[in-house]
């Protein structure tokens, strides 16, 4: 009897363990089924999101400009900080409207977007670069902004020039450098982050807008004119003759001068450069009140006005004009 009871106890334990094992197996199978269900739901949700994303993007693109801006303003505060960095780094370069070579620009602001149309905005500048500047030439791009015309001169299909690009705005010179790197022309285009004027020293650059690519800034304290100044940026200012000697820059064969009203001061600091026979042509943006002074100074250094393009305001008033000046004895072409 004792042995029978012992056997029953052993059998009972075996059965209990078997039941426990079956229960564990059932639970494991149930857990596996739940995991598979969750995986299927996650895959379905992801597929749905992937199907929805193009629709969301397409819907956003269909919005008008005002609605797009309203949406972004409404959701801006919900972006995690890292998203700003991701958005910045994911921004694709845009192509400049230059038909003869692929030139790409960094675009993060409205002002930089505007610079993508530099060639159609100033076709006479492109014509001057094509007709006058070639391989072996040195272009000083004074007031280079984000570098559209510097890049055109450097990447001409028939041979690019060596370019020294002067740009003092702290925000804009960063984009200029980025565009040089983007287009792999660091060996041809040298950004120089200083202002040029009639004296060498320190002053301020009155920035009307803090965006890269903005223009109409004014050199000197207490600037007036085209609207209020957002920031008076301290800048080093040099006479062109001084900076050429200090930095041992190659002498220019051509100069593009576009400094929003400061052209006379730049020319006053460039007498040796202007007198050099190596300098063959200049494209100068001239503020109308300075017309006689600028033309007279260049004529005294042996240049004559070869062609002129007038820019008018919406009211039909002449505000500025662009002049191609060539040294006597040289034509406008190469």
pLDDT (0 to 100) of residue 119: 98
- The predicted model gives 255-269 an average pLDDT of 96
In contact, 310 and 333? CB cutoff 8 Å: no
pLDDT (0 to 100) of residue 51: 65
**How far is C-alpha 89 from the geometric centre of its chain's CA atoms?**
13
Domain map of the chain by residue range?
A: 1-78, 96-327
Global confidence as pTM: 0.78
pLDDT (0 to 100) of residue 13: 83
pLDDT (0 to 100) of residue 291: 94
pLDDT (0 to 100) of residue 195: 98
CATH class entry, domain 96-327:
alpha beta
Highest mean pLDDT among 10-14, 74-78, 296-300: 296-300
- The predicted model gives 128-140 an average pLDDT of 97
pLDDT (0 to 100) of residue 166: 99
Q: Which of 5-14, 79-88, 178-187 has the lowest mean pLDDT?
A: 79-88
pLDDT digits (tens, 9 = 90+) for 20-49: 888 888 888 888 888 888 888 887 777 666
Q: Which residues lie below 8 Å from residue 147, measured CB to CB, with a gap of 6+?
A: 141, 165, 167, 175, 176, 179, 180, 189, 191
**Residue 1: pLDDT band by 50, 70, 90 thresholds?**
low
- The predicted model gives 165-188 an average pLDDT of 97
Average pLDDT of the residues of the chain: 90
pLDDT (0 to 100) of residue 223: 61
Residue 268 has phi, psi (to 5 degrees) of -65, -25
329: left (phi over 0), alpha (psi -120 to 50) or beta: left
**Residue 334: pLDDT band by 50, 70, 90 thresholds?**
low
């Amino acid at each position: 009897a004792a042995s029978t009871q012992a056997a029953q106890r052993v059998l009972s334990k075996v059965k209990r363990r078997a039941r426990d094992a079956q229960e564990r197996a059932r639970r494991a199978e149930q857990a596996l089924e739940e995991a598979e269900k969750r995986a299927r739901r996650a895959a379905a949700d992801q597929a749905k999101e992937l199907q929805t994303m193009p629709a969301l993007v397409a819907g956003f693109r269909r919005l008008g400009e005002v609605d797009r801006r309203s949406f972004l303003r409404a959701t801006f505060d919900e972006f995690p900080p890292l998203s700003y960095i991701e958005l910045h780094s994911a921004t694709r370069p845009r192509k400049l409207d230059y038909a003869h070579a692929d030139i790409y620009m960094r675009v993060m602001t409205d002002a930089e977007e505007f610079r993508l149309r530099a060639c159609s905005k100033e076709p006479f500048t492109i014509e001057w670069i094509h007709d006058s500047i070639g391989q072996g030439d040195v272009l000083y791009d004074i007031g280079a902004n984000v570098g559209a015309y510097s890049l055109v001169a450097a990447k001409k299909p028939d041979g690019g020039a060596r370019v020294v690009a002067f740009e003092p705005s702290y925000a804009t010179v960063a984009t200029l450098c980025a565009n040089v790197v983007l287009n792999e022309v660091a060996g041809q285009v040298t950004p120089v982050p200083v202002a040029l004027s009639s004296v060498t020293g320190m002053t301020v650059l009155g920035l009307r807008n803090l965006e890269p690519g903005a223009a109409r800034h004014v050199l000197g304290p207490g600037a007036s004119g085209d609207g209020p100044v957002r920031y008076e940026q301290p800048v080093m200012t040099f006479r062109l003759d001084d900076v050429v000697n200090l930095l041992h820059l190659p002498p220019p064969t051509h100069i593009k001068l576009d400094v929003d009203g400061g052209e006379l001061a730049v020319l006053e600091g460039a007498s040796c450069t202007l007198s050099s026979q190596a300098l063959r042509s200049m494209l100068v943006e001239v503020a109308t009140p300075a017309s006689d002074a600028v033309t007279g100074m260049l004529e005294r250094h042996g240049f004559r006005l070869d062609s002129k393009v007038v820019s008018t305001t919406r009211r039909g008033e002449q505000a500025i004009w662009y002049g191609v000046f060539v040294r006597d004895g040289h034509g406008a072409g190469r």
